[in-house]
A and B are shown apart, each in its own frame.
Chain A
Amino acid sequence: MLIRGWVHKISDFLNRIVRSVLFLTTLSFAGLIFTGVVFRYVIKHPLIFSVEIAKLLFIWSAFLAVTVAYKEKKHIRFQFLNAFLKEHLLALNELIIRISGCFFFIILLFYAVRFTQAVWPTFFPVLNLSQGWLYVSVIVALVLLIVHSVDLSLEALEALKAGKKHL
């Protein structure tokens, strides 16, 4: 119970931080693309780096937002089984999904770190920044997904113990 409480608090706290960062990154890439248009057509001085930075910010935003959607159970899934399985079996199903997800993310994290190290010496053509920064977003997202998976697994376990329907 105590562990569940702490994990839940950490997961919530991280999610709040990610939501704040997400606002800033989304605002930044939207603003940057617009600024690129203004510089090209109004000031007649194209911002050659704007596309690369906007793409980098978009990829960071996309992976961070994946973690928020995962934490808040917004990712799409089919619900056929809900009509057929009893409540405790649904809770067991949920627990299996969360534990499988957790293992999946841990394995990916291992390979993400190795791949990031491998691509680190390659650079964006204009920014002269390591392309590894693209994959750091995957590492950060996977760490967050693992924390949320543990939280959701414990939540599912609690629901299973309580024998109530868990969706």
Chain B
Amino acid sequence: MITALIITFILLVLFRFEIALAIGLAAMTAIVFFSDIKLVVIIQRLVVGIDSFEFLAIPLFILAGNLMNAGGITDRIFSLARALIGHVRGGLGHANVIASMIFAGMSGSAVADVGGLGAIEIKAMNDQGYPKEFSAGITVASAIVGPVIPPSIPLVLYGGLAEVSVGRLFMGGIVPGVLVGLSLMILVYFLSIKNNYPRDEKVSITEFLNRFFRSFFPILTPIIILGGIIGGIFTPTEAAAVAVVYAFILSFFVYKELKFDQLPRVFVESMVTTAITTFIMSTTSSFSYLLILGNFSQNILELLTSITMNKYFMLLILNIVLLFFGCIMEAGVALILLVPILVPILEAVGIDLVHFGVVMTVNLMIGVATPPVGMGLFVVSHVANISIERLMKAILPFLVPPILVLFLITYIPDLVTFIPNLVFGK
């Protein structure tokens, strides 16, 4: 049954079936022809797959990001980042990374980052004469930070699937997210010196304060979200709803850039973006159910533990496998498919689930910037008007720092677990 399930799925995906449909059809084929299970199980699993209060955070964080994009908040954030660091050689490259790190604290989606901030950043960099390859490359790479620094949609997904505290995962993402950002800035610095990229005039204190106050309320968002979660005031899902209301108040009432007639489109598009993931989660629920019945996890566990029982070597194997999956699969899909299979393996080898959740997220987020399915590449290719082939080549040096950080956080678990342990206790 397992062989039929997997072969059918791969064939359907290769023949351009939508992934959710391919998973559902593969499950149906396996049930009808290779098992005694009743087909009605697919219906039950369709709802069970998404019937969790944690998953409500997904559309809400996407919505918060989209409201901020529509309300011109991204513009203010980039302007602040530029005032902060634009005067350094290659200033707009640094500002690009800093803006992504600030925006990451408000939205949980890499695509919201490149879609909103990306357009502003690339235009500014083009105007200052940066090569298209550099501006597009750093824009895609800096989007990796988005879903690592909390709030994070992949971490919500992982938390729901692995039954791990989303609050702990959020705290665990802070240091790795900042490290990815800083490592990218180091690369930008050296490339800028080498290529003599331009820099902004240093802004006066008055101008800096002006820009700071223009974006003061938006940059409070992560403090509200994380403060609320740490203080036990609300759950991550409730924090997402608070972020939505806060983004709406800022965009609509304070800055008055969001118009009432934009609201239906913003809400609907956020939910449609969510549905792309939830449909896969729904159909994958019966797929995973069949894998469990067929002892697939157990077989993989036996295979891996026959190779090694050393958790550090196991982490190396898993990282390589995940980097491969990240290249060929959208991060959400990879999480939904792999987490239920990996959790028993992690528990057997004694790998901390919070540590691995953050490692897995950083790993899969690198896939946002890698061909052939990196969503970040496609969005930026369109925004920057650069061919996907040129962008694929341009992105390569920018992948080195995140991969180095990935291995750093893999082998120094405290970089991930220190803050969650400090905040929530061991």
Interfacial residues, chain A to chain B (CB-CB below 8 A): 19-20, 22-23, 26-27, 29-30, 33-34, 36-37, 41, 51, 54-55, 58-59, 61-66, 68-70, 72, 74-82, 93-94, 96-97, 100-101, 104, 107-108, 111-112, 114-115, 134-135, 137-138
Question: What number of A-B contacts does a CB cutoff of 8 Å give?
Answer: 165
Q: Which residues of chain B have C-beta atoms less than 8 A from A62's C-beta?
A: 50, 271, 274-275, 278-279, 282
A interface: dominant SS: helix
Give, as a whole number of angstroms, the nearest-CB distance from B216 to chain A. 22
Give, as a whole number of angstroms, the nearest-CB distance from B388 to chain A. 11
- Give bound CA distance, A76 to B50, whole Å: 18
Can you list 8 A-B contacts with CB-CB less than 8 angstroms, sorted by A residue number?
A: A65-B275, A69-B276, A75-B19, A76-B19, A77-B19, A81-B16, A107-B39, A137-B47
Tell me which of A64, A111, A135 has the highest count of chain B C-beta atoms within 10 A of its own C-beta: A111
Give, as a whole number of angstroms, the nearest-CB distance from A107 to chain B. 7
Among residues of A, the one whose C-beta sits closest to the C-beta of B238 is A37
Contact check: which of B44, B53, B59 meets A26 at CB < 8 Å?
A: B59
- Give bound CA distance, A31 to B14, whole Å: 41
A66 touches B275 (CB 8 A): yes
B279 touches A23 (CB 8 A): no
Q: Which residues of chain A have C-beta atoms less than 8 A from B44's C-beta?
A: 115
A26 touches B268 (CB 8 A): yes
Give, as a whole number of angstroms, the nearest-CB distance from A17 to chain B. 12
Contact check: which of A51, A82, A101 meets B53 at CB < 8 Å?
A: A51
Known: A19-B268, A37-B234, A104-B28. A59 touches B16 (CB 8 A): no
B271 touches A26 (CB 8 A): yes
- Give bound CA distance, A52 to B411, whole Å: 41
Known: A29-B56, A59-B51. A104 touches B233 (CB 8 A): no
A30 touches B50 (CB 8 A): no
Among residues of B, the one whose C-beta sits closest to the C-beta of A41 is B233
Q: Which residues of chain B have C-beta atoms less than 8 A from A33's C-beta?
A: 56, 60, 237-238, 240-241
A59 touches B42 (CB 8 A): no
Contact code string B343-364 (vs A, CB < 8 Å = 1, else 0) = 0000000000000000000000
Among residues of A, the one whose C-beta sits closest to the C-beta of B328 is A78
- Give bound CA distance, A51 to B238, whole Å: 10
Give, as a whole number of angstroms, the nearest-CB distance from A36 to chain B. 7
Contact check: which of A75, A76, A104, A138 meets B25 at CB < 8 Å?
A: A104
B14 touches A74 (CB 8 A): no
- Give bound CA distance, A17 to B155, whole Å: 33
A62-B271, A115-B44 are known contacts; what are 11 more A-B pairs with Cβ within 8 Å?
Answer: A22-B267, A30-B59, A33-B60, A34-B242, A51-B53, A63-B275, A65-B271, A75-B19, A93-B16, A104-B28, A111-B39
Q: How many residues of B contact A (CB 8 A)?
A: 54
Among residues of A, the one whose C-beta sits closest to the C-beta of B275 is A65
Q: Which residues of chain B have C-beta atoms less than 8 A from A80's C-beta?
A: 14, 16, 372
A111 touches B42 (CB 8 A): yes
B272 touches A72 (CB 8 A): yes
- Give bound CA distance, A78 to B165, whole Å: 33
B276 touches A26 (CB 8 A): no
- Check if B425 is an interface residue, CB within 8 A of chain A: no
Contact code string B20-54 (vs A, CB < 8 Å = 1, else 0) = 11001100100000000001101110110011010
- Give bound CA distance, A69 to B275, whole Å: 7
A22 touches B59 (CB 8 A): no
Q: State the 4 A-B residue pairs at the shortest beta-carbon distance, nearest first.
A: A65-B275, A33-B241, A75-B18, A34-B241
Among residues of A, the one whose C-beta sits closest to the C-beta of B47 is A134
Give, as a whole number of angstroms, the nearest-CB distance from A146 to chain B. 13
- Give bound CA distance, A72 to B268, whole Å: 13
B21 touches A26 (CB 8 A): no
Contact check: which of B42, B60, B280 meets A76 at CB < 8 Å?
A: B280
Q: Which residues of chain B have C-beta atoms less than 8 A from A66's C-beta?
A: 20, 275, 278-279, 282
- Give bound CA distance, A136 to B274, whole Å: 20
- Give bound CA distance, A34 to B244, whole Å: 9
Among residues of B, the one whose C-beta sits closest to the C-beta of A55 is B53
- Check if B124 is an interface residue, CB within 8 A of chain A: no
Contact check: which of B46, B241, B272 meets A30 at CB < 8 Å?
A: B241
- Check if B63 is an interface residue, CB within 8 A of chain A: yes
Give, as a whole number of angstroms, the nearest-CB distance from A2 to chain B. 29
A59 touches B15 (CB 8 A): no
B15 touches A58 (CB 8 A): no
Q: Which residues of chain A have C-beta atoms less than 8 A from B56's C-beta?
A: 29, 33, 54-55, 58
Among residues of B, the one whose C-beta sits closest to the C-beta of A33 is B241
B271 touches A22 (CB 8 A): yes
Q: Which residues of chain A have C-beta atoms less than 8 A from B373's C-beta?
A: 76, 78
Contact check: which of B16, B25, B42, B278 meets A77 at CB < 8 Å?
A: B16
B275 touches A19 (CB 8 A): no
Q: Which residues of chain B have C-beta atoms less than 8 A from A37's C-beta?
A: 233-234, 238, 241-242
- Check if B158 is an interface residue, CB within 8 A of chain A: no
Give, as a whole number of angstroms, the nearest-CB distance from B73 to chain A. 18
Give, as a whole number of angstroms, the nearest-CB distance from B263 to chain A. 8
Give, as a whole number of angstroms, the nearest-CB distance from B287 to chain A. 14
Q: Which residues of chain A have C-beta atoms less than 8 A from B282's C-beta?
A: 62, 66
Tell me which of B18, B39, B43, B267 has the highest count of chain A C-beta atoms within 10 A of its own C-beta: B43
